[in-house]
């Protein structure tokens, strides 16, 4: 007599029965790798000289960064695409959506099947009564090459929900209440089966929401006995005859629980811990900066319809940002067909490409320091979705809070939203701040030179755009010239006091200030060039950083690491190795005045 997971694993191991704790080799029906982790799967296969056993069961799903906006993600995605072409593997590219959802909606997985992915929430497949598991890149590479992996059969837990479902509660509220009941580790390592009249009536979208948070409960999976509606959906999507798997009546469960759902409440997880769930009432009124609606937990069509009902005819509160990301492109297009996108946009929401979004740090949904966000994601670990505070809640609570400007429920929307008020708590040092003169700065500089005899060195070569989010001066220096061929190690070998000598049109391109400040961060003293990009020259002058234009320095007979003296007022450069001198363009009065003050903003 076996549970659902035991039956699935036994069938895929070619055995009549399996028992908890037994290690079996199981056949994997669907083998997924995402843009996050996919490149390492390819690397493992290539380095070990392996091959893909069955390309028709093998897929890439690019869902972490569906915009391809991050340089490293873009490189990994292209590596996977090239491998896929060679191996004839299907790629669900950046326009497709979340891989585990695609496995269901595209009919790749069916009830009773096995799925692995480089996604820790692959156990979402429990929503259709299938076995899904997130694994590391070595496991996935093994599944791709062998078609099978070893797995330890987990013990099972049976949870039955009794009573009637409160009319206002969503599936997210149900799973948050379960998290409140069981915490993050009391179900650790178990396969959980859900039963009861409430469970029988859940839609596929609702089952997906609940299964997607098994990981946060420490469970191997949350499995649902497939309903007729789920079986019909999977049959239509896959074109297969479905043999759903159900537990035997006398199956053994390590633990059983009965929980009265009538006690369930609007739930919300406090920042930092998904299992730290409290009733929304406890934090109602908390001012928020943003809301995020999406992720593998709540980006389905039913979720977004609920959101649209709340947003229709309303506006997002002033100063609050609402970000919405559908789970798949199919959902995105349904939102378009049903007019939901118009509702979202008119309410003031930002809509993103289908995908994982902020939960994977690869798309919209991240927040900044001090920012308070209500999110429909499944995790709110510190730093997971940015540097602010993230509350986990249902789509209805997230949408209502965005409209209210503070945490609330859809049945308690205020007539007027909360608004931000200016802070008058200025720091004492700011109140006393005085623009101080620095007129004692030396107008004579001495330092060792780096000769970079190239023209048209642009700002991307100096300081690449992938580092533009860096705002702290002390962090900028390490990236200097790391996109200039032959000089990628400049930051490691330069010394404080060094001077750069280069060719024409130095600093061409963008207006990024970092391309100047990175040299200041390294302690470099000056740059000499035959000419500068116009914006770059202004940026350097305004930052109080010496840049000088020369016509010809050949008379100095310079070699790398010669020490030179620059006289800013006289416009004279001397090679201290041989005493030879040359005239350069001296500082203008404006340039000298800003240099002495240290910054245009101190003038």
C-alpha 148, offset from chain centre: 30
C-beta of residue 489 within 8 angstroms of C-beta of residue 472:
no
- pLDDT exceeds cutoff 90 at 430: no
- Is 376 inside any structural domain? yes
- Is 365 inside any structural domain? yes
How is residue 434 written in tokens? 């005085």
- Is 111 inside any structural domain? yes
> Would you call 225 helix, strand, or coil by DSSP?
coil
Q: Work out the pLDDT band at 427, boundaries 50, 70, 90.
A: low
Lowest mean pLDDT among 112-116, 275-279, 419-423: 419-423
- pLDDT exceeds cutoff 80 at 424: no
Please tell me whether residues 173 and 243 are part of one structural domain.
yes
Please tell me whether residues 164 and 120 are part of one structural domain.
yes
- Is 178 inside any structural domain? yes
Please tell me whether residues 248 and 362 are part of one structural domain.
no
* CA pair distance 557, 576, nearest whole angstrom: 11
Q: List the Cα angle 378/381/385 in 5-degree steps.
A: 75
- pLDDT exceeds cutoff 50 at 206: yes
Say what the pLDDT of residue 375 is: 94
- Is 428 inside any structural domain? no
Q: Which tens digit of pLDDT belongs to each residue from 315-367?
A: 999 999 999 999 999 999 999 999 999 999 999 999 999 998 777 665 676 88
* CA pair distance 294, 365, nearest whole angstrom: 9
Say what the pLDDT of residue 82 is: 96
Please tell me whether residues 24 and 126 are part of one structural domain.
yes
How is residue 403 written in tokens? 């409209």
- pLDDT exceeds cutoff 60 at 431: no
How is residue 418 written in tokens? 């909360």
Please tell me whether residues 125 and 138 are part of one structural domain.
yes
Q: Work out the pLDDT band at 387, boundaries 50, 70, 90.
A: confident
Please name the residues in contact with 540: beta carbons below 8 A apart, sequence gap of 6 or more.
507, 516, 527, 532, 546, 547
C-beta of residue 396 within 8 angstroms of C-beta of residue 306:
yes
Q: What element of type H or E holds 444?
A: strand 444-452
How is residue 298 written in tokens? 């709540």
- pLDDT exceeds cutoff 50 at 437: no
* CA pair distance 537, 53, nearest whole angstrom: 58
Please tell me whether residues 567 and 597 are part of one structural domain.
yes
Say what the pLDDT of residue 493 is: 97
What's the average model confidence in pLDDT over 509-530? 95
* CA pair distance 251, 43, nearest whole angstrom: 42
Please tell me whether residues 451 and 329 are part of one structural domain.
no
Instruction: Provide, rounded to the nearest whole percent, the portion of the chain with pLDDT above 70.
Output: 96
- Is 417 inside any structural domain? no
C-beta of residue 260 within 8 angstroms of C-beta of residue 173:
no
Indicate the residue among 239, 262, 285 that finishes a domain: 262
* C-alpha count within 13 angstroms, C-beta hemisphere, residue 121: 24
The position carrying tokens 């090239």 is 82
Lowest mean pLDDT among 252-256, 271-275, 278-282: 271-275
The position carrying tokens 């004839």 is 88
* CA pair distance 39, 570, nearest whole angstrom: 57
Give the DSSP letter of residue 449.
E
Say what the pLDDT of residue 393 is: 97
Please tell me whether residues 141 and 281 are part of one structural domain.
no
What's the average model confidence in pLDDT over 121-144? 95
CATH number of the domain that residue 543 is part of: 3.20.19.10
- Is 290 inside any structural domain? yes
Using CA atoms, how far residue 498 sits from 201, 222, 491, 545, in Å, is: 72, 61, 11, 13
Length of the chain measured in residues: 603
C-alpha 583, offset from chain centre: 53
Indicate the residue among 262, 288, 323 that finishes a domain: 262
Please tell me whether residues 348 and 398 are part of one structural domain.
yes
Indicate the residue among 238, 262, 286 that finishes a domain: 262
C-beta of residue 180 within 8 angstroms of C-beta of residue 95:
no
Q: List the Cα angle 101/181/162 in 5-degree steps.
A: 80
Question: Which residue segment(s) compose the domain that 361 sits in?
Answer: 267-404
- pLDDT exceeds cutoff 60 at 253: yes
* CA pair distance 144, 154, nearest whole angstrom: 23
Give the DSSP letter of residue 403.
H
Please tell me whether residues 255 and 279 are part of one structural domain.
no
* CA pair distance 122, 215, nearest whole angstrom: 9
Please tell me which of 69-78, 429-438, 551-560 the model is most confident about, judged by mean pLDDT.
551-560
What's the average model confidence in pLDDT over 265-282? 94
CA nearest 156: which of 258, 225, 255? Answer: 255
Q: Any alpha helices (H) in 88-239, and if so which ranges?
A: 99-105, 137-146, 171-182, 197-200, 204-211, 228-238
Q: What element of type H or E holds 5?
A: helix 4-13
What's the average model confidence in pLDDT over 362-390? 84
* CA pair distance 212, 297, nearest whole angstrom: 6
Please tell me whether residues 250 and 128 are part of one structural domain.
yes
Using CA atoms, how far residue 72 sits from 77, 83, 96, 485, in Å, is: 9, 17, 20, 18
Say what the pLDDT of residue 425 is: 57
Q: What element of type H or E holds 306?
A: helix 301-311
CATH number of the domain that residue 41 is part of: 3.30.499.10
Give first-to-last CA distance, the chain, whole Å: 83
The position carrying tokens 């320095």 is 553
* CA pair distance 559, 577, nearest whole angstrom: 10
C-beta of residue 269 within 8 angstroms of C-beta of residue 277:
yes
CA nearest 529: which of 516, 547, 514? Answer: 547
List the 90-92 sheet strands across, edge first: 90-92, 58-61, 30-34, 114-117, 131-134
What is the number of domains present in the chain? 3
Say what the pLDDT of residue 435 is: 46
What's the average model confidence in pLDDT over 490-514? 95
- Is 225 inside any structural domain? yes
Q: Evaluate the CA torsion angle 373, 379, 381, 382 in order and state its sign.
A: negative
* Cα Rg, the chain, nearest whole Å: 30
Please tell me whether residues 577 and 455 are part of one structural domain.
yes
Ramachandran region, residue 248 (left: φ > 0; alpha: ψ -120 to 50; beta: rest): beta
Give the DSSP letter of residue 588.
P
* CA pair distance 237, 104, nearest whole angstrom: 8
Q: Which tens digit of pLDDT belongs to each residue from 39-90?
A: 999 999 999 999 999 999 999 999 888 876 777 888 899 999 999 999 999 9
CA nearest 546: which of 565, 574, 561? Answer: 565
């Amino acid at each position: 007599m076996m549970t659902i997971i035991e039956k699935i694993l036994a069938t895929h191991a070619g055995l009549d029965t399996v028992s908890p704790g037994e290690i079996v080799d199981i056949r994997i029906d669907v083998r997924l790798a995402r843009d996050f982790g996919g490149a390492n799967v390819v690397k493992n296969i290539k380095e070990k000289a392996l091959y893909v056993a069955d390309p028709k069961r093998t897929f890439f799903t690019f869902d972490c960064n569906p915009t391809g906006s991050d340089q490293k993600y873009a490189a990994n995605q292209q590596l996977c695409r090239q491998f896929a072409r060679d191996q004839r593997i299907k790629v669900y590219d950046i326009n497709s959506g979340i891989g585990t959802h695609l496995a269901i909606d595209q009919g790749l997985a069916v009830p009773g099947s096995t799925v692995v992915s480089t996604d820790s929430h692959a156990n979402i497949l429990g929503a259709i009564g299938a076995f899904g598991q997130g694994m590391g890149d070595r496991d996935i590479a093994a599944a791709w090459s062998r078609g099978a992996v070893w797995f330890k059969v987990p013990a099972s837990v049976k949870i039955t929900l009794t009573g009637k479902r409160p009319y206002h509660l969503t599936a997210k509220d149900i799973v948050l209440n379960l998290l409140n009941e069981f915490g993050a580790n009391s179900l650790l390592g178990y396969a959980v089966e859900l039963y009861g009249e409430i469970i029988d009536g859940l839609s596929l979208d609702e089952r997906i929401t609940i299964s997607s948070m098994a990981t946060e409960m420490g469970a191997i999976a949350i499995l649902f006995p497939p309903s007729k509606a789920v079986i019909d959906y999977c049959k239509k999507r896959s074109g297969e005859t479905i043999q759903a798997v159900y537990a035997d009546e006398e199956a053994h469960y390590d633990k059983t629980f009965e929980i009265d759902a009538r006690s369930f409440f609007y739930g919300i997880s406090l920042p930092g811990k998904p299992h730290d769930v409290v009733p929304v009432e406890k934090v109602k009124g908390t001012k928020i900066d943003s809301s995020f609606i999406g992720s593998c937990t709540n980006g389905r069509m039913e979720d977004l319809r609920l959101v649209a009902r709340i947003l229709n005819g309303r506006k997002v509160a002033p100063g609050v940002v609402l970000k919405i990301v559908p789970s798949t492109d199919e959902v995105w297009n349904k939102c378009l067909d049903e007019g939901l996108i118009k509702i979202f946009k008119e309410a003031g929401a930002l809509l993103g490409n289908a995908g994982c979004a902020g939960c994977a740090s690869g798309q919209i949904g991240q927040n900044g320091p001090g920012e308070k966000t209500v999110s429909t994601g499944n995790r709110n670990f510190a730093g997971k979705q940015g540097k602010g505070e993230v509350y986990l809640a249902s789509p209805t609570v997230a949408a209502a809070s965005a409209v209210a400007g503070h945490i609330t429920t859809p049945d308690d929307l205020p007539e007027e939203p909360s608004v931000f008020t200016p802070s008058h708590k200025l720091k004492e040092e700011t109140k006393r701040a005085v623009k101080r003169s620095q007129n004692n700065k030396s107008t004579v500089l001495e330092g060792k030179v780096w000769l970079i005899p190239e023209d048209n060195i642009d700002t991307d070569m100096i300081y690449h755009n992938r580092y533009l989010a860096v705002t702290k001066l002390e962090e900028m220096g390490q990236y200097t010239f790391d996109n200039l061929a032959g000089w990628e190690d400049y930051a490691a070998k330069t010394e404080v006091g060094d001077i750069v000598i280069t060719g024409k049109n130095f600093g061409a391109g963008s207006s990024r200030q970092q391309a100047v400040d990175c040299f200041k961060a390294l302690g470099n003293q000056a740059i000499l060039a035959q000419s500068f990009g116009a914006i770059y020259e202004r940026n350097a002058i305004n930052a109080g950083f010496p840049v000088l234009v020369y016509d010809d320095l050949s008379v100095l007979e310079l070699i790398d690491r010669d020490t030179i003296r620059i006289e800013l007022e006289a416009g004279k450069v001397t090679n201290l190795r041989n005493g030879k001198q040359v005239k350069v363009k001296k500082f203008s009065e404006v340039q000298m005045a800003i240099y002495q003050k240290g910054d245009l903003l101190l003038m």
